[in-house]
Amino acid sequence: MFLPHIAKLIAEEFEDIWWNDESYDDISKENENDIKDYALPLKIATAKYLEKFNLLNCQKDMEKEISALKKLAKNNSIDGVITTNWDCLAEEIFGFEKFIGQKALLFSNVLNVGEIFKIHGCITEPNSMIFDANDYDSFNKRNHYLASKLTTIFIEHPIVFIGYSLRDSNIREILNAIIYGIGEERLEKFGKIIFSLNMILKMEILFIQLCQLIYQMVRSKSLI
């Protein structure tokens, strides 16, 4: 997966811009005590940019998809959502309580009903965002525990996966671990209760476009 490695290169280049370009004076001073690594400045700037990716602004472009998801929520057809998306669109659509990051899912007292699990982080907590190659490496180290937790949820509840692609290496590894863990006798039941809504290729295209846009903005010093 090449995008996380590209993100790492962009983050390294952006760090110097963050601290030295006067157009970032306000936001860098506001967050200077929170910066612990090179990637966080770009995560914060990206989170700020994605704040406008909300229900109000996306309603027209994704009217059919949003309507379908709202119908699922209204009919109580699903119990929870697991998403790799950073934005807050899912919370707006479903109105579920959200848990951010792997640790929240692993260690919180979740009910497994009416909840959103944002396993790649959220813009409300930029440091939680799975962004570059280092983040993905850390994520992979916990995949075994995450898969065990998700297996328990999946067996009893229909879950909707919303992410930019099921080709994402994290998601594929998690699903492979779950399938291996539940055994052949439960595969048929598992297949009936798991759904994938990719928005459909739109979210994947959006993610690639976002990476391209961030790079262009970093080069032109106009991310914010």
Q: What is the pLDDT along the chain (224 residues), one digit of tens a residue?
A: 577 888 899 999 999 999 998 888 888 888 888 888 899 999 999 998 898 888 877 777 778 888 888 887 777 777 778 888 899 988 888 888 888 988 777 776 666 678 888 989 999 999 999 989 899 888 888 777 777 777 777 767 666 666 555 666 666 777 777 777 666 666 666 666 665 554 433 444 444 455 555 556 555 655 55
Residues 102 and 171 in one domain: yes
Residues 36 and 113 in one domain: no
Residues 92 and 179 in one domain: yes
Residues 191 and 83 in one domain: yes
Q: Are residues 140 and 170 in contact, defined by beta-carbon separation less than 8 angstroms? A: yes
Structure tokens, 141: 């180290």
pLDDT of residue 204: 44
- Structural domain containing residue 102: 61-205
Q: Are residues 102 and 139 in contact, defined by beta-carbon separation less than 8 angstroms? A: yes
Residues 143 and 166 in one domain: yes
Residues 28 and 85 in one domain: no
pLDDT of residue 124: 95
DSSP string, 82-117: EE---SSHHHHHH--EEEEHHHHHHHS---SSSEEE
CA distances from 207 to 164, 202, 222 (A): 7, 9, 19
Residues 109 and 170 in one domain: yes
Residues 9 and 39 in one domain: yes
pLDDT of residue 183: 67
Residues 117 and 185 in one domain: yes
Tally of domains within the chain: 2
Helix, strand, or coil (residue 8): helix
pLDDT of residue 33: 87
Angle at 85 between CA 82 and CA 86, to 5 degrees: 120
Residues 88 and 17 in one domain: no
> Residues for the chain: how many in total?
224
Residues 88 and 49 in one domain: no
Residues 165 and 190 in one domain: yes
Count CB-CB contacts under 10 A for residue 33: 7
For 126, which DSSP code?
G
Q: Measured between alpha carbons, how far is 92 from 76 in angstroms, rounded to an integer?
A: 16
For 125, which DSSP code?
B
